[in-house]
Amino acid sequence: MLEETTPLLGRQQKATRWLSIYWLSAVVFCLSAAGAFLNVPLTRLIEDNLCSRYIQQGAPTEELCKTDKIQSKLAYLNGCLPLVEAVVGLVVAFPFGVLADRVGRKPIIILSMIGTSLSLAWELAVIGLPRIFRVQFILAGPLFAVVGGGNTVLLANLYSIASDLVVQSDRASTFFLMAFASLVGASIGPAISSVFMETFSPWVSAFIAFFANLVALIPLFFVPETLSPSKQDSDSDQESEDGPHNFRSHLSQLLQLGSSIASLKSSSLVIVLATFLTAAPEVLGTSQFLAQYISKRFDWPLAKTGYLLTLRGVIHMVVLLFTLPLLSRVLLRYQRPPVKDLTLARASVAIAAVGALCMAAPQIGLVIAGLAIHSLGSGLAPLCRSLATSYVTPQDTSKLNTVIGIVQTTGSLFAGPAFAWLFETGMKLGDMSLGLPYYGLAGSFVLCLVGLVFVHPPAQGEESDEP
């Protein structure tokens, strides 16, 4: 009788696990939509706050807020926010990662959501109370990441739950589903936010983003905790016996991370890892900074720029869902997987460079065309991640992904201030120089392309056998 019911039970368990994955994807969708919903209205609210300090008579209109001085301050505030967030993330991510292996994934995810909500609440309070706070105090908002570890810990634990829920053969499909949910949220968020900004107020869009972040807790309630009670108990016993030693052990593993990868002595892998330094500048240059750039240069209301961000998201989805998979299947007939990844990565970074160069143009039509062209190169990061894994053994893959995360965070440290400085310099020089931030972005992609030219894929017998 057991043999007859076991397959049925197995199917039920698999169905239950996939239902949990769908709920987990709903969490990712809510968080992604909330972040995309917030970018443009937050920029408009900060701009309005800055503007009110310089316009003494009457309420400041958006047209009066486009002076170079106000836009320069706005660019630096928008640029320093991710800088502070990255610094705090580097400090607190590791301790909360260790804690997640003690108390479970879901408690840390909930703490992270609370921390991000407190951060946003602080920023909105600073903007809404200009007589009490100077707007520069919004830079203290990312400090609330000490509650839960911020977005870095949040995403790491979401993907850890996903990995725990499915067998290894289903992980690629699971990550694909979660990435798709994130793309959908990032695509529809800016357009809906723009509608509310035009119809009502940027405050309405900002509050919707705040509550959308909290709504993510609802689908999370239906996601099971994947850290088994027995492991929690054993970890608790071990921590009580030699807690300081255990923490030092985890810290030692972290410090050995770089040497573990470096021991491979692969210059090609180092070059591939260096391409991830462009991830943060690319995201910033095609999100909130792009909104400010277009609004300043072409006298667009910030609300309308949200529609362009949706255009980018839609093209991004088409590239990742259809174009790259199709090209991959075609190239796999003639090339090994690492060679295929390298070929597509080189093409992607070349397209991204051309698109960024067009975005520096003084005509809005060319800027929009450049944004569309640049979005066609959006496969660079996943292609380089796939290429990087071909240089390491399966047991080193998690370490490699951690190193990639550190490199991306390092890019966040300089991306915001660099964009702000280039933007300020461009406004001082005027004319074609207004596109200076995108000349810089294009230059970073050209450097990536030059580096990838010198990359050699691993030989047939050396590549990773990871499924």
pLDDT tens, N- to C-terminus, the chain (467 residues): 445 444 555 566 667 777 888 888 899 899 989 988 888 899 889 888 888 877 665 555 667 778 888 888 888 998 888 888 888 877 887 788 778 778 888 888 899 899 999 999 999 999 988 888 898 999 999 899 888 888 877 877 887 787 777 665 556 567 767 878 888 888 888 889 989 998 888 999 999 999 998 999 999 888 887 766 555 544 444 444 444 444 555 555 555 555 555 544 578 888 888 998 888 888 888 888 888 899 888 888 888 888 888 888 888 888 877 888 888 888 888 888 888 889 999 999 999 999 999 999 999 999 999 999 988 888 888 888 888 878 877 666 656 766 777 788 888 888 889 999 999 999 988 778 889 999 999 999 999 999 999 988 887 655 554 44
* 20/136 same-domain check: yes
* 300/368 same-domain check: yes
In a domain, 258, yes or no: no
Cβ proximity of 392 and 404 under 8 Å: no
* 158/270 same-domain check: no
**pLDDT given at position 451:** 92
Q: 3-state DSSP call for residue 186?
A: helix
In a domain, 104, yes or no: yes
* 213/286 same-domain check: no
Q: Assign residue 299 a region (left: φ > 0; alpha: ψ between -120 and 50; beta: otherwise).
A: left
In a domain, 254, yes or no: no
Mark which of 178, 208, 225 sits at the end of a domain.
225
Distance in angstroms (rounded) separating the CA atoms of residues 371 and 401: 28
**pLDDT given at position 131:** 85
Structural domain of 413:
264-467
* 38/184 same-domain check: yes
**Token digits of residue 459:** 């030989």
**Token digits of residue 117:** 């909500």
* 206/301 same-domain check: no
* 80/160 same-domain check: yes
Judge residue 241's burial from the number of C-beta atoms within 10 Å of its C-beta, 0-12 exposed, 13-18 middle, 19 or more buried: exposed
* 157/35 same-domain check: yes
**pLDDT given at position 206:** 92
Q: 3-state DSSP call for residue 201?
A: coil
Distance in angstroms (rounded) separating the CA atoms of residues 235 and 103: 9
* 218/271 same-domain check: no
Query: Which strand (E) or helix (H) includes residue 32?
Result: helix 2-52
**pLDDT given at position 62:** 65
**pLDDT given at position 203:** 93
Cβ proximity of 343 and 331 under 8 Å: yes
The dihedral formed by the CA atoms of 69, 71, 76 and 82, expressed in degrees to the nearest 10: 170
Total domains present in the chain: 2
* 88/176 same-domain check: yes
Entry pTM: 0.79
In a domain, 242, yes or no: no
Mark which of 225, 256, 276 sits at the end of a domain.
225
In a domain, 455, yes or no: yes
In a domain, 244, yes or no: no
**pLDDT given at position 118:** 93
Distance in angstroms (rounded) separating the CA atoms of residues 368 and 194: 17
366 — phi, psi (to 5°)? Answer: -70, -35
pLDDT in tens, 135-171: 899 999 989 988 888 887 787 788 778 777 766 555 6
pLDDT in tens, 59-75: 556 677 788 888 888 88
* 269/401 same-domain check: yes
In a domain, 334, yes or no: yes
**pLDDT given at position 269:** 87
CATH of the domain at 153: 1.20.1250.20
Cβ proximity of 212 and 30 under 8 Å: yes
Cβ proximity of 158 and 29 under 8 Å: no
Pick the closest to residue 72 from 105, 92, 42, 47 (CA basis): 47
* 275/205 same-domain check: no
**Token digits of residue 95:** 């301790």
Mark which of 225, 256, 287 sits at the end of a domain.
225
In a domain, 385, yes or no: yes
